[in-house]
Structure 1
């Protein structure tokens, strides 16, 4: 668990559900929770918020195989505000939709079947304008004040965006979620966030498989030394850097594999051998560089 500046704690490993089909998301989330995950990360643009919540609700309702009962307070649920929902009115509406989806597949006859609140709400990217970003943040601060959202943060923010945000924020961002892995180390941004008490969350920590499968000699060597998979080494790299890590998979065996990394440690020489701090290798988009 990692302590946030909001005084809440966040599990260090979370399941990312980007590109997880809506008709399978509930089952995959429920499987991950049974494996031991307690943190799930979705977004409105993923079109699986309701199904993600349904998976959590099913797990909480049926824990027949568990010796220790897990409660809602043990689960950490993250979602995000998409670019087209920036601005006061649109953000308020987006938050209402996100809160409604906390009910999963519940009907009007089941008013109490809901997750009740959002643990972490993020601005998904800075790709609008400074005035709209400010309005969005202030609407999110109001959601915290109402008790419906516990912590707020950002995703894909560069240093310039964070400087702008900190100039007006009454609530400091708890996290900045960006792509991070040994070939995209963002050392200047990481240092900035650490100075300001902002936790880094690493998405695409497995490089979207760009570096897996024997493609990188250093990664192969470290994995062999520890008798671990390449994916496990990358998850551990992020954890040992102090990041929250969000590996994504829809396969039960890999969901388990990505989570089971507690019983080995990478050495300093391992960490140095992995990747390239100067590579700046992005596997998808990179809104941290957005100017506007």
Structure 2
């Protein structure tokens, strides 16, 4: 028989193991619950923090960062046909599904139909290519990437003429939207929306479409606050998703005294303050990174609150400074930005 001392040691060891398991479970559970969601009009739930993957075209990097993002707690992955990384992302997600790390229903996947698939009959073809690359039967959100239509079947993502200007097609955005509606009704996407659309372009679709855009993904950061566009979207129950939330790590922005002061007050980084400012505006934010420490930093913004004064101070930094201008498409009939400033 075991001595009393040995029994006590065994019991203590068992209790320690149970405690560790319980702590790990609680940490995982709390991390999963700390990210707020926004409900789209059709009832689909979108996590308010996601991982942007633009310009992550190296296979090893793409797979690594997706795995690390899921490990940290991200459940929202944003990609696009034009990003040329859907196959890598899809392969990594399949690996995670196969190993029961997560289930398909646990992760929200967004993709975007590119400018060379804007004819009504081409939209389905373009979205099918994305689904095949991702290895999915359905995405959670499909967006029209830009309102501009480019010449199809040239073999180029951005076909251009001898002057470097885009080879355009004059396709009404409503025709493209009809293709998106078809994809939605076929079950290729749980929800549909647009990206880089201005107010008048949204109005055109709302007026003519059977299905209202559920999302508009646009560039938003403290130097481009987009209040009129965001207000219009919210008034029409269109969820706003912000890309380039820290203006591609613009160092002038990062050194703004008001942002540094607010960050110091809350013991946070400037990037965290900016993303909190977006989240408190009821905007979904999809910061892009290839570094795990940034994944964690961007995720850790739900333990503090900005005051109304701080929110106004950050919004007061607006300069109508736009990073994504797509200037070689400026002659396209559906170019969404003002020219020459391309600032609104």
Normalising by structure 1, what TM-score?
A: 0.89
* Corresponding residue number in structure 2 for 1:107: none
> Structure 1: how far apart are the matches of 2:100 and 2:289?
23
* Corresponding residue number in structure 2 for 1:121: 142
> Structure 1: how far apart are the matches of 2:338 and 2:124?
24
Residue 61 of structure 1 deviates from its aligned partner by 2.6
Q: Which of these residues, 222, 246, 249, is aligned with residue 206 of structure 1?
A: 246
Give the conservation status (yes or no) of the 8 Å contact 2:254–2:271.
no
1:11-22 alignment runs, 5 A limit: 11-22=47-58
Is 1:47 aligned with 2:84?
Answer: yes
The number of residue pairs the alignment matches comes to 275
Give the conservation status (yes or no) of the 8 Å contact 2:222–2:318.
no
Give the conservation status (yes or no) of the 8 Å contact 2:122–2:179.
no
Is 1:5 aligned with 2:41?
Answer: yes
SS of the aligned residue for 1:5 comes to coil
Give the conservation status (yes or no) of the 8 Å contact 2:143–2:193.
yes
Residue 148 of structure 1 deviates from its aligned partner by 2.0
Q: Which of these residues, 90, 105, 130, is aligned with residue 73 of structure 1?
A: 105
1:81-92 alignment runs, 5 A limit: 81-92=113-124
Is 1:140 aligned with 2:140?
Answer: no
Q: Which of these residues, 261, 270, 273, is aligned with residue 230 of structure 1?
A: 270
SS of the aligned residue for 2:140 comes to strand
Q: Which of these residues, 79, 98, 102, is aligned with residue 134 of structure 2?
A: 102
Greater CA drift, 209-218 or 196-205: 209-218
Q: Which of these residues, 200, 213, 220, is aligned with residue 173 of structure 1?
A: 213
Structure 1 segments unaligned to the other structure (5+ residues): 65-69, 104-114
Normalising by structure 2, what TM-score?
A: 0.76
> Structure 2: how far apart are the matches of 1:263 and 1:212?
26
Q: Report Cα offsets for 1:94-153 as digits up to 9, x if no partner.
A: 0111111122xxxxxxxxxxx331100000111236744222211111111111211000
Give the conservation status (yes or no) of the 8 Å contact 1:182–1:275.
yes
Greater RCO (CA < 8 Å, at least 6 residues apart)? 1
Q: Which of these residues, 62, 67, 70, is aligned with residue 33 of structure 1?
A: 70
Is 1:289 aligned with 2:333?
Answer: no
> Structure 2: how far apart are the matches of 1:168 and 1:7?
22
Give the conservation status (yes or no) of the 8 Å contact 2:325–2:337.
no
SS of the aligned residue for 2:240 comes to strand
SS of the aligned residue for 2:211 comes to coil
Residue 275 of structure 1 deviates from its aligned partner by 4.5
Residue 211 of structure 1 deviates from its aligned partner by 4.2
Is 1:56 aligned with 2:93?
Answer: yes
> Structure 2: how far apart are the matches of 1:280 and 1:48?
30
Look at both structures and tell me which one has the larger radius of gyration over its CA atoms. Answer: 2
Give the conservation status (yes or no) of the 8 Å contact 1:88–1:135.
yes
Is 1:267 aligned with 2:315?
Answer: no
* Corresponding residue number in structure 1 for 2:319: 279
Give the conservation status (yes or no) of the 8 Å contact 1:82–1:123.
yes
Q: CA 1:259 to 1:191, structure 2 compared with 1: closer, same or farther past 3 Å?
A: same
Is 1:252 aligned with 2:289?
Answer: no
